[in-house]
Amino acid sequence: MKKIKLVFLIVSMAVYAFTVNAQSGLTMEASQLYASFKYKDSQGTKLNNEYSGLFTGAYGIGYRYISDGGFIFRSGIGMRSAGATLVYDDMNYSWKLQYADIKLGLGYMYKAGRVNPYLTASGYFAYLLRGIQTLNNEDFNIIESGLLNKTDFGVTISPGVEFRLSDYISSCAEFNYLMGLKNIEADDGQKASNIAYGISLGLSFTITKIE
């Protein structure tokens, strides 16, 4: 019985430490991305350097929870553009993709006052809404032709800084590194995955503050 009481006490203290002065809020963000592909052909040859990236964008809304100890839980839904260009055997290729994605992530914020650095890692799942492959001057609908898989998943690493404007509004700036973990090629003999680097700017609006 004493052990049960001790476990209950420890759990209660942990829950209290995690929730006291915790904040939850709604977020919105917009990103400028530099997107490209990692690619390996059927012979196992990597052609990463042959691909040139595209400047694209992303935007989304989400939910963020920050404990008094600085632990972060975040989730979100949004839209993201991806793609790349390639010149191979005197042929010009380009891919322009539009994804809808959902994200779940964890992280930590060092609470220094008005300016607070943080780091989060998020997993994402994305669904291809629209895709165009251009070969020289001819366009192909990727979804109708089945050239690429419609789903993708991966991770995003995001170091950033929060600027507290008031007790209920804050802004943030963060760097994003996105690494796709799924082969988006429909042909199993080849392997391609999304990759992107970017800068995001966002706002957070506190909806609950537990003290």
pLDDT of 36 reads 96
Task: Give the percent of the chain with pLDDT over 90.
Answer: 66
Which residue has 């691909």 as its token pair?
Answer: 51
Asked if residue 18 belongs to a domain, the reply is no
Q: 3-class DSSP state for residue 158?
A: strand
The range of the structural domain enclosing residue 147 comes to: 26-209
How far is the C-alpha of 16 from the C-alpha of 10, rounded, in Å?
10
Asked if residue 10 belongs to a domain, the reply is no
Domain total of the chain: 1
Look at residues 76, 54, 55 and name the one whose alpha carbon lies nearest to residue 64. Answer: 76
Task: Give the percent of the chain with pLDDT over 70.
Answer: 89
Asked if residue 123 belongs to a domain, the reply is yes
pLDDT in tens, 141-151: 999 988 899 99
Asked if residue 13 belongs to a domain, the reply is no
CATH classification of the domain holding 67: 2.40.160.20
Asked if residue 14 belongs to a domain, the reply is no
Q: Is the pLDDT of residue 18 over 50?
A: no
pLDDT of 14 reads 45
Tell me if 91 sits within 8 A of 80, measured CB to CB.
Answer: no
